[in-house]
Structures are given as structure tokens and as C-alpha cells.
């Protein structure tokens, strides 16, 4: 795992966006795995800015989002479909039929999850998966104790995640209790993974992900086994890393072609 400690969340997001843009320029029909939440907002703004300047074209890009609330229609303001429309899809030239979201209103969620996995395979697989890191070490909605070989499925949210997400709703009671999420195994199938983690509240999860054992108690730790994973963080998120100075030294001494 490549560990990149940036001076700020903005610079970390910009580095991840540059990697994504480089992939799209090399492979116009790239397949991206995309997250939601506050963590990737600057990342999406950077992609939009590059598109606006004519530096990247999304017309042939295919995307698969990591998760969606079960029971929320796509026009609900707190659905992740609405989030993606607001922050990326309505701002770039991606074809709507290439932008895939889990369907939280599916009458048969188990079959829908199987179909979602099949659609990823039929697209050629995900070239680059972007992820945010949860404060408890979750990726997607794979909460602690999730199987490290799991596939897209229905998950029940923990009380902590419900409390964390309640700020987006009028009350905690309105937060859905279930989500559809890509599994850890689905995520690990991506050819490359980029993870973003910002703020002191993520420091313990960063340390567990990078320097702890590979364990279902920290689903993100499974990315230690991925052949091409980079973790981008700010200084606050790096605060509990035992080898932070080593990671800085390694990154500073990479050849230019290897830098993010």
C-alpha cells in the first residue's frame, strides 16, 4: 500500500483527481468506482474543473457507485443518486446510461445485487475504485465484521453510522437502517484503489488500515492485500501512524514518474 501524507485535504484530493484524469486520458472508456459522502467532495470539484478546462472527457466513461440507501427513491434529496447528480453527473458530459447506481427501491434486492455484480463484470471490471475511509475502518458500507470476501449485498447500518449520517436528515429516525453496498471482495477486484482520509477523527482508522492486522474488525485493512492501492491523507489523519516519517521519506524519494 502506498501511503501519501499531503499538507492538506485539498492537495490530497487534487493528487487523487490527477491520477483519475490521467487514467481517463489514457483510457477514454475507463470504468470508475465512485463513493459519496463529504470526503470526496473536493475530488469531484477537481474533476469538474478539469473537464470544464477541456482536459478530460467523460463521454465514454462508465461508473459504478459503491452504495445506496435501501428504501430511498433516486429523486430523494438524501439519496446517493441525488448526491452524484449534484456533485458530478450534472456537471460533466457522462452519458446517463453509463452511470450505474444501486437501486434502493428494487423489489428484489438480492437479485438486483447479483445483477449489479454482473454489470461490473460485463463492463470489463473496475479500472479505478475511489473510496472514503470511515472512522471505524469501513469502506463503502462494509461495517466492522463484514466478510472480507463479500460481494454487493444488503447491509444493516450500525448505530454509529446512523448517528454520523443523521446530520443529513431532519432526525436520526429518518435515516434508513439498510443500504446496498459493494462488498469488500468486489472492491478488491478493482485494478487500482485510491482511498481518501481526512481529519483527526480518521487517524485511528488510518493507523488500523495501514499498520494493523488484516481483519474484518477494520474492513479497510483488506486493502493491504491489494496489488495497487494508494491512501491519501492530510496531516491530521496521519497523526497515529507509527511510521509516518518513513512514508514521507519514501514518497519524497520516488522517481518523478512514480509520484501521484
What is the set of active-site residues?
Answer: 67, 136, 138, 143
Q: Is 248 exposed, middle or buried (0-12, 13-18, 19+ CB in 10 A)?
A: middle
Asked if 155 and 143 count as a contact pair (C-beta separation under 8 A), the reply is yes
Q: What is the SS3 assignment for the chain?
A: CEEEECCCHHHHHHHHHHHHHHHHHHCCCCEEEECCCCCCHHHHHHHHHHHHCCCCCCCCCEEEECEEECCCCCCCCCCHHHHHHHHCHHHCCCCHHHEECCCCCCCCHHHHHHHHHHHHHHCCCCCEEEEECCCCCCECCECCCCCCCCCCEEEECCHHHHHHHHHHCCCHHHCCCEEEECCHHHHHCCCEEEEEECCHHHHHHHHHHHHCCCECCEHHHHHHHCCCEEEEECCCCCCCCCCHHHHHHHHHCCCHHHCC
Spatial separation of the C-alpha atoms in residues 160 and 158, rounded to whole Å: 5
Amino acid at each position: 500500500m502506498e501511503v501519501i501524507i499531503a499538507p492538506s485535504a485539498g492537495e490530497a484530493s487534487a493528487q487523487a483527481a490527477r491520477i483519475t484524469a490521467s487514467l481517463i486520458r489514457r483510457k477514454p472508456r475507463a470504468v470508475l468506482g465512485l463513493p459519496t459522502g463529504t470526503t470526496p467532495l473536493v475530488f469531484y470539484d477537481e474533476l469538474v474543473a478539469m473537464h470544464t478546462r477541456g482536459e478530460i472527457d467523460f463521454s465514454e466513461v462508465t461508473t459504478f457507485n459503491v452504495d445506496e440507501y435501501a428504501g430511498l427513491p433516486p429523486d430523494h434529496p438524501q439519496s446517493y443518486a441525488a448526491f452524484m447528480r449534484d456533485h458530478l453527473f450534472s456537471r460533466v458530459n457522462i452519458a446517463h446510461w453509463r452511470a450505474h447506481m444501486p437501486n434502493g427501491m428494487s423489489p428484489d434486492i438480492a437479485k438486483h445485487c447479483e445483477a449489479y455484480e454482473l454489470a461490473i463484470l460485463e463492463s470489463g471490471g473496475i479500472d479505478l475504485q475511489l473510496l472514503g475511509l470511515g472512522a471505524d475502518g469501513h469502506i463503502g458500507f462494509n461495517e466492522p465484521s463484514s466478510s472480507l470476501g463479500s460481494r454487493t449485498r444488503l447491509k444493516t447500518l450500525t448505530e454509529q453510522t446512523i448517528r454520523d449520517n443523521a446530520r443529513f436528515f431532519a432526525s436520526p429516525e429518518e435515516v434508513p437502517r439498510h443500504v446496498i453496498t459493494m462488498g469488500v471482495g468486489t472492491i478488491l477486484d478493482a485494478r487500482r484503489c485510491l482511498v481518501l482520509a481526512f481529519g483527526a477523527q480518521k487517524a485511528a482508522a488510518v493507523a488500523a488500515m495501514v499498520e494493523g492486522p488484516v481483519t474484518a474488525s477494520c474492513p479497510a485493512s483488506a486493502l493491504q492485500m491489494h496489488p495497487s492501492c494508494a491512501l491519501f491523507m492530510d496531516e491530521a489523519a496521519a497523526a497515529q501512524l507509527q511510521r509516518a516519517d518513513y512514508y514521507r521519506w519514501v514518497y519524497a524519494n520516488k522517481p518523478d514518474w512514480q509520484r501521484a
